[in-house]
Amino acid sequence: MLTDKTFARPVPPRPPVGDNGQVTSPTRSEDLTALIRERCATLRSPRVVTSGNAAVPHTLLALVDSVVPRYRLNILNAPKGIPVRDGVIPETSFVGSGMRHSPTLAYVPARLSMVPTLFSRTLHPDIVLVHTSKPIAGKVSLGIEVNVIPAAIEAVRRRGGLVLAQVNETMPYTYGDGEYELDFFDGWIEADDVLARPASTPPTGERAESAAVIGDYCASRVQSGATLQLGIGEIPDATLPGLTRLRDLGLWTEMFSDRLLTLHRAGALDPERYLIASFMAGSEELLTWVDQNKQIRMLRTETVNSPANVARQPGMTSINTALQVDLFAQANASRRKARIHSGFGGQTDFIVGALHAPGGQAIMALRSWHPKANVSTIVPLIEEPVTSFQPSVVITEQGVAEVGGRTERAQARAIIDNAAHPSVREELWEEAGYLGLA
């Protein structure tokens, strides 16, 4: 029997319906159009919040876009394919490829655990669009994208706004905080948009070799029974094969992708612990596996990313990456040449939580050299705004630099000698002298 050894999830109250106590459920696009027009008639620039990452309800969003001439579009990690035109103001706390180069981007800095609070403080939504599974016993699920959506739904309900759903046969039904009665929504349409999948082009040549080395270093630090935060990308992908030797691993992570199946097939996951996440992205095989899988619990962001909850997980191991790390063990994971590239995400939440967890550790893993820019990723002092700082360890293909609990001089020495590319170590030692670290 499944038990949650580390976290008991409270049952959230069912959000209220409208003031008249009635919930309409139109299915025709003209009915939805009328609802949207009525809601936005007196609003100069309404805010539309929608599921993001791999779960944008494109058909429903296109309907809203055809009705509302000017609005703010709030999406986390928006992919390409979202409306891009005059009158649509892209807004987010984590920039995806669909918004990254927009000249009108409204970036709102916030740790991911804090984003849900913004909907009731400063970013008040007028319409919330969700992407759901087909109904099962009268309920639908937010499937692969729970994330900040429950908070947005509660905030828009308090303001008397609309909650509209796109029901998709291909969306898996997942258990947790994303389950709603179908008649809860003000309206819905049926549309089987293809759920986005993360780019899965594996690295080759030197990139593959360096990723494998970094992955092995990361995996060597994990013990059976630990709890993992898994991200997406080359380094997490390279780490997971080395974890298949372990047993009773737990999962407490903001997101996961196909590589989790590697641990499942190897029998490395603890069968008596819930696998906790907030959103996911992956192949049809992954979506089939998670569909009605009682071991998986998809919880809201403010629960999953809460540093206090992260700190309760045994052997909590967070593995994050960065664009740069400096000699003070500070990391820049969000900006390039002062322009926002992504955002804080959950990195700071999980680093802080992991450092406070029993037997926990926060790993910062990256290549020592950026091949495209042809520069070192280990720098004397980060000139960009800092995303996070003070992990347990910095890992590159050059080695493992222990920084947790060391003096700042010992940190700098470890980073230069064990993590920096050999071609820049002499220069880094010179800069360390200027910074008082040598």
Structure tokens at 46: 């309404």
Catalytic choice (145, 254, 384, 397):
254
Structure tokens at 20: 């008249």
| Cβ atoms of 245 and 224 closer than 8 Å | no
254 classed as catalytic:
yes
Q: What are phi and psi of 390, to 5 degrees?
A: 60, 60
Label residue 20 exposed, middle or buried (CB < 10 Å: 0-12, 13-18, 19+).
exposed
| Per-residue exposure over 35-60, b if at least 16 CB sit within 10 Å of its own CB, e if not | bbeebbeeeeebbbbbbbbbbbbbbb
Q: Name the amino acid, one letter, at 315.
A: G
SS (H, E, C) 153-202: HHHHHHCCCEEEEEECCCCCCCEECCEEEHHHCCEEEECCCCCCCCCCCC
The helix-helix angle for 408-418 and 425-434 (nearest 10°) equals: 170
Q: Which residues are catalytic?
A: 254
